[in-house]
Amino acid sequence: MSIKTIQNLVSEAMREIKTIDAEEAYQMVQNKNCNLIDIRESNELENTGSVEGASHIPRGMLEVYLDPNNPIFQNGQIDKNKEFVLFCAGGVRSALAVKSLKDMGYHKVSHIDGGFGSIASSNFKII
């Protein structure tokens, strides 16, 4: 049995997931059609800033937070009827995270190509 590289995992995930660009994500946020979720670690947000309007759920806690029994759904922080648009720093973690959410049964999930790097050079406001 051979061990897969991160490149193998991402390539496999990319064949199964939806990828959008930063401009499409921005339009979805403006139209209130999605949950924009930043899955970077807290220290990354401290170093580079946060995206206005994004919810922060670190990658390591994503499946826990998005368990349908988690209180974040009950308190309205996340709307499970809207598309989940994930991003990380460059797109690797978010691609794998979207694949994981699809495995959990979520259908309306996507990630932003280029991650925070592409977001920072788009219309999104960094705070």
pLDDT in tens, 78-120: 888 999 999 999 999 999 999 999 999 999 999 999 999 999 9
Record the pTM: 0.93
The number of CA neighbours under 13 Å toward the Cβ of 62 is 28
Predicted pLDDT at 72? 79
| Residue 38 DSSP symbol | E
Distance CA 32, CA 92 (A): 25
Cα 28 to Cα 45, 65, 111, distances in angstroms: 22, 22, 12
* Domains with residue ranges and CATH for the chain: 6-120 (3.40.250.10)
| Residue 61 DSSP symbol | G
Place of tokens 């499946």: 63
Among the listed ranges 6-10, 69-73, 115-119, which one has the minimum average pLDDT value?
69-73
